[in-house]
Amino acid sequence: MVVIGWVAERRALIDDLATLTPQQWETPSLAQGWSVHDVAAHLIDNALTTPGRLLRGMAAARFDFDRQNAAGVAANRGASPAETLTRLRAVADRTSGPPTFLAAEGSRLVEEIAHGEDIRRRLNLHRAYPPQSLAEALGYQARTREAMGGAKGLVGRVTLVATDAPVRLGRGPEVRGTALALLMLATGRRHGSSELSGPGVSLLPTDPA
C-alpha cells in the first residue's frame, strides 16, 4: 500500500517522539513560544482538521490564526507526554485537512516536515527525508504566496538550488543548500541559514522566523 507523504512523516515523527524523556518533551522547540510537547499537540490538531471543524475553530477565535492555533494546542495537549503521544498515534493515518482552496494538500506535507524539524533540530535528532517529499514540499512553497505561508516572493528574487537533489526553483542569484535547508528557508525559518551559500544569500531576510 502506498503511504501518503505527510502520513509517512507523521509516523516517522511519532517514532522519534517515542524515544524522548519527559524533560525533552518540555524542551523549547524551534517554533517560537512552543515546547516540543506543544508542537506535538499542534500536529494532532492539524490531523483532526476538517473544513467544518476549521470554520468553527476560526469563528471561536474571531478569525485570528494565532489564537486558533493556541486553542488547538490547548485542546489536544494531554496531561502527560504519554497521553499526547497516544493521541498522536490515534490520528497517525488520518488524511483529512482544511478545504483545499485554502490550503492545498501539499501544505500538509510542508507542515509535517517543518514542524518535525522544529523538534528534531532542537534535540539533535536526524531524519533522512525521502528526496521526493522534499522536492514536492519545495515545489508547493514556491507556488504559494507569503500571505499563505509560502515562498512565491522569495523565488521571484533568488534561485533555490539543491545540492543533494535535482531541484532548481526561481530566478535571480543562486542560493545553494540541501533540499531540507532550502525548505526551512522557504517556510520562513532560519534554522538552516548556516547551511546555505551562493550570491543570493545576501538578499535573504535576516530576521528570525
* CA-closest candidate to residue 115, choices 69, 62, 55, 162: 69
Last residue of a domain, one of 69, 93, 123: 123
Q: Do 110 and 139 belong together in one domain? A: no
Q: Averaged over 193-205, what is the pLDDT?
A: 92
Q: Is 209 part of a structural domain of the chain?
A: no
Number of domain units in the chain: 2
Average of per-residue pLDDT values in the chain = 90
Q: Do 170 and 139 belong together in one domain? A: yes
Last residue of a domain, one of 59, 93, 123: 123
Asked whether residue 59 carries a pLDDT value surpassing 50, the answer given is yes
CATH number, position 167: 3.30.1050
Q: Do 17 and 66 belong together in one domain? A: yes
Q: Do 159 and 114 belong together in one domain? A: no
Q: Do 72 and 162 belong together in one domain? A: no
CB hemisphere CA count around 29 (13 angstroms): 23
pLDDT digits (tens, 9 = 90+) for 82-120: 999 999 999 999 988 777 766 778 899 999 999 999 999
Q: Are 43 and 10 spatial neighbours (Cβ–Cβ below 8 Å)? A: yes
Q: State the residue for C-alpha cell 494532532.
A: 44
Q: Do 193 and 162 belong together in one domain? A: yes
Give the pLDDT of residue 21. 97
Edge-to-edge order in the sheet of strand 159-162? 168-170, 159-162, 174-177
Last residue of a domain, one of 91, 123, 155: 123
Q: Do 135 and 119 belong together in one domain? A: no
Q: Do 16 and 99 belong together in one domain? A: yes
Collapsing DSSP to helix, strand or coil, 168 comes out as strand
Q: Do 23 and 93 belong together in one domain? A: yes
Q: Is 208 part of a structural domain of the chain?
A: no
Query: What is the domain extent for residue 171?
Result: 131-203
Q: Do 86 and 179 belong together in one domain? A: no
Q: Is 94 part of a structural domain of the chain?
A: yes
Tell me which H or E stretch contains 169. Answer: strand 168-170
The pLDDT-based confidence of 66 (bands split at 50, 70, 90) is confident
Q: Do 142 and 166 belong together in one domain? A: yes
The set of residues, in sequence order, having a beta carbon less than 8 Å from that of 65 and lying 6+ positions away, is 58
Q: Do 75 and 92 belong together in one domain? A: yes
Q: Do strands 174-177 and 159-162 pair parallel, antiparallel, or not at all (unpaired)?
A: parallel
Percent of the chain scored above 70 by pLDDT? Answer: 93
Among 54-63, 101-110, 187-196, the minimum mean pLDDT is found in 54-63
What is the reported pTM? Answer: 0.90
Q: Are 169 and 150 spatial neighbours (Cβ–Cβ below 8 Å)? A: no
